[in-house]
Copies of this chain bind each other. A is one copy, B any other.
Amino acid sequence: MRTPSAPVEGSGNVRSKATIYDIAKAAGVNPSTVSRALNNPGRVSAKTQKAVRDAAEELQFQMNPYARALGTGRTETLGLILTDITNPTFFDMIRAAQSTAITRNYTMMIAESAESPATELKAALRMQATVDGLILASPRMDDDNIRILAATKPMVVVNREVEGVSCVVPDVNGGIRAAIRVLAEQGHRKIAYLAGPTQSWMSDRRWEGVQDASAWSRLETVKLETGKPTVDGGRRVAREVLSSGATAVMAYNDLLAIGLMQELQAAGVVVPDHISIVGFDNIFGADFTTPPLTTVRSPLATCGTTAASLLLDKLDREAEDQPSLVHVDTELILRGSSGRLLAAAAQTAH
């Protein structure tokens, strides 16, 4: 009826793939019983249970996830899509999401979009076929596409708010207000915001936050566009920062902030005496710089954990639950790259 098809060597070559059929034969039961014994421990007699387990052990049985997925549609796999794997901003989140997934016996797949909405959508579509649920981190595609995806399979969005979809979003205003307040007290009057990618929802939120808080403190603001939100991108915008007349800079992320600081320092500008710099995210290495970087910490690790948990809960419930919106707080981490403006120095800088 069923050909084992194994090119059997005489030796105890226990290589490769034993199926539940092999176990069934070894344990003297029916394949379906094996399946039950392995999955619903309790719905099978104790001795059968043991026989099956032993045989499985003996044959080094490894379930074939594809065969299972084909029937059940479930793969015990989560997908995580982000804009740039190498962006340290995501490290904590990846790690956190990964480990909570593992804890619940799920595997995680990662893909990146290279900041392109199209690539992102394609990656998401492809992943949808493979995973039980998806986490979209800082997605660049438009709301409608996100909702379409969310309608297909459970999904959680991080770092962006989308109507009708579960989201985990840092509330940037707390951290920003603290930062602006401090900058104002230190004598700054004009703040430059280094914008993130055009498609970035979060960059807009941060810019809004900066404007609001600045208005409150009667500070002037100016928005400077940048290319990619990387160290290099920060370097490139240094000249523009200098000519903007701003004495303090809030960057879309730490990478930009660090790049800017490096370039300014190379040009003889003293941080923070001439210009104060504040980043976002508190990435790994943000405290390695001289001076160490003042930054608004987004608890990305918390976001990762929360997102994964939310998603896994959805999967467990299997029900059409309400989309939830989780806000996590941000805080200012005051370090050396921001400080009181030295009037004399300020003049030198221009």
Report the minimum CB–CB distance from A46 to chain B (whole Å): 26
Residues of B close to A91: CB separation below 8 A: 85-86, 88, 91
Q: Check if A2 is an interface residue, CB within 8 A of chain B.
A: no
Contact between A85 and B75 (Cβ–Cβ < 8 Å)? no
Contact between B63 and A129 (Cβ–Cβ < 8 Å)? yes
> Which of A167-175, A235-243, A282-290, A308-316 sits within the interface?
A282-290
Q: Check if A303 is an interface residue, CB within 8 A of chain B.
A: no
Which of B66, B86, B126 makes the CB contact (< 8 A) with A66? B66
Residue interface mask A96-131, B partner, CB < 8 A = 1: 001000000001111110000000000001111110
Q: Check if A94 is an interface residue, CB within 8 A of chain B.
A: yes
Report the minimum CB–CB distance from A104 to chain B (whole Å): 14
Report the minimum CB–CB distance from A211 to chain B (whole Å): 30
Contact between B88 and A88 (Cβ–Cβ < 8 Å)? yes
**A88-B88, A108-B110, A152-B16 given as contacts; is B64 within 8 A of A258 (CB)?**
no
Query: How many residues does chain A have at the interface if contact means C-beta atoms less than 8 Å apart?
Result: 39
Give the docked Cα–Cα distance between A290 and B69 (Å): 52
Contact between B130 and A107 (Cβ–Cβ < 8 Å)? yes
Which residue on B lies nearest to A13, using beta carbons?
A: B151
Residue interface mask A26-66, B partner, CB < 8 A = 1: 00000000000000000000000000000000000011111
Q: Check if A70 is an interface residue, CB within 8 A of chain B.
A: yes
Give the docked Cα–Cα distance between A288 and B109 (Å): 31
Contact between A129 and B65 (Cβ–Cβ < 8 Å)? yes
Residues of B close to A258: CB separation below 8 A: 288
Report the minimum CB–CB distance from A343 to chain B (whole Å): 27
Residues of B close to A75: CB separation below 8 A: 66
Q: Check if A67 is an interface residue, CB within 8 A of chain B.
A: yes
Contact between B63 and A66 (Cβ–Cβ < 8 Å)? no
Residues of B close to A65: CB separation below 8 A: 66, 129-130
Contact between B107 and A109 (Cβ–Cβ < 8 Å)? yes
Contact between B107 and A15 (Cβ–Cβ < 8 Å)? no
Residues of B close to A98: CB separation below 8 A: 85, 110, 112
Residues of B close to A125: CB separation below 8 A: 62
Give the docked Cα–Cα distance between A88 and B89 (Å): 12
Give the docked Cα–Cα distance between A16 and B125 (Å): 11
**A86-B95, A98-B112, A109-B109 given as contacts; is B152 within 8 A of A15 (CB)?**
yes
Which of B62, B69, B86, B111 makes the CB contact (< 8 A) with A107? B111
Report the minimum CB–CB distance from A279 to chain B (whole Å): 12
Interface positions, chain A 75-97, Cβ under 8 Å from B, are: 75, 85-86, 88, 91-92, 94-95
Give the docked Cα–Cα distance between A151 and B285 (Å): 40
Report the minimum CB–CB distance from A138 to chain B (whole Å): 17
* Shortest beta-carbon contacts, A-B, top 6: A285-B285, A288-B288, A290-B290, A66-B69, A66-B66, A86-B95
7 residue pairs of the A-B complex, CB under 8 angstroms, read: A62-B128, A64-B129, A70-B70, A98-B110, A110-B110, A284-B284, A289-B289
Q: What would 20 more interface pairs be, CB under 8 Å, given A62-B125, A67-B70?
A: A15-B152, A16-B152, A66-B67, A66-B69, A66-B70, A85-B91, A85-B98, A86-B95, A86-B284, A98-B110, A107-B111, A109-B109, A110-B110, A258-B288, A284-B284, A284-B285, A285-B285, A288-B288, A288-B289, A290-B290
